[in-house]
Chain A
Amino acid sequence: NAGVTQTPKFQVLKTGQSMTLQCAQDMNHEYMSWYRQDPGMGLRLIHYSVGAGITDQGEVPNGYNVSRSTTEDFPLRLLSAAPSQTSVYFCASSYSMDRANLPLHFGNGTRLTVT
C-alpha cells in the first residue's frame, strides 16, 4: 500500500492564481481531511469528508473548496490564492471517525508559497 499520497510536494503561486492539491489513499478509508500547518498555530482542519459525495467545513474553510467523487480521492482547491494561504498542507485519512480510537494517516505534505 502506498498509504496517503499528496501532490505536488512544493508549489509557488502568485496572488490570484488557482490550483488544486491532490490527495489519494489506497486503504479504503471512509474519512479524509485536509489540514494546514503554520508556525505557532498547529494543525488546523480546513475541510473533511466522511465518505464519497459527502464533504463538510472544518475550522478554517474560507478560500478553499473540496469534493469527494470517489472513496480514494479528496482534492483541495484554492480558488484565488492569497499570501495568507502560504502554509504546509496535509491530507489525512482514517477508516472511520465513528470509531474515535482509529488514528489519522497523514500524507507527506504540500509546501505552498503564495507571493
Chain B
Amino acid sequence: GQNIDQPTEMTATEGAIVQINCTYQTSGFNGLFWYQQHAGEAPTFLSYNVLDGLEEKGRFSSFLSRSKGYSYLLLKELQMKDSASYLCAAPGGATNKLIFGTGTLLAVQP
C-alpha cells in the first residue's frame, strides 16, 4: 500500500526559514517528489530525491531519509510569493504511478 502524510497548514514570516515535512509508507521505493501549487494554478515540479541526503536548489532544498520514510522541503529567505501549497508525491499504490499527499498550505506573512 501507499500512504503519504504531510501537515495541512503552516505559517511563516517573510525572510525566515520553514521546513515542511512528509512521511511516506510504500511497498517499494522509487524516489520522492515535491511540487509547488499556487492557488488556482497547476502544480509545478520543485525537486526529486532518490538517495538519502540533502539536495539544494537555490532557496529550496529537499531532504530524504529512506530508512525513516521521511522527507522535508526547506525554504530559505521566504518571500511572499512562496505562499502556496506544497505537495509531496511518490510512485506507489495499486498502479505504481505518482501518488500525492494532500498538500501543505504555506502562508507567508509580512
Q: Name A residues whose Cβ lies closer than 8 Å to a Cβ of B.
A: 33, 35, 40-45, 48, 56-59, 90, 97, 100-101, 103-109
B 73-105 contacts with A by CB, 8 A: 87, 89, 91, 93-95, 97-103
Residue of A nearest to B42 (CB): A106
Q: List 21 A-B contacts (CB under 8 A).
A: A42-B101, A42-B102, A43-B43, A43-B87, A43-B89, A45-B97, A48-B95, A57-B95, A58-B97, A59-B93, A59-B94, A59-B95, A59-B99, A100-B31, A100-B50, A103-B45, A103-B48, A105-B45, A106-B42, A106-B43, A106-B44
- A42-B101, A45-B98, A59-B93 known; A109+B50 contact, CB < 8 A: no
On chain B, the number of residues with a Cβ less than 8 Å from chain A's Cβ atoms is: 24
**What residues of chain B lie closer than 8 Å to A101, measured between beta carbons?**
31, 48, 50
**What residues of chain A lie closer than 8 Å to B33, measured between beta carbons?**
103
Known: A33-B97, A101-B31, A103-B45. 5 other contacts (CB 8 A): A43-B87, A45-B95, A48-B97, A103-B35, A106-B42
Partner of A90, one of B42, B91, B95, B102: B42
* Cβ B95 vs Cβ A58 within 8 A: yes
* Minimum CB–CB distance for B62 against chain A, Å: 13
Top 8 closest A-B pairs, CB basis?
Answer: A103-B45, A106-B42, A42-B102, A43-B100, A100-B30, A42-B100, A100-B31, A108-B42
- A42-B103, A43-B87, A103-B48 known; A97+B43 contact, CB < 8 A: no
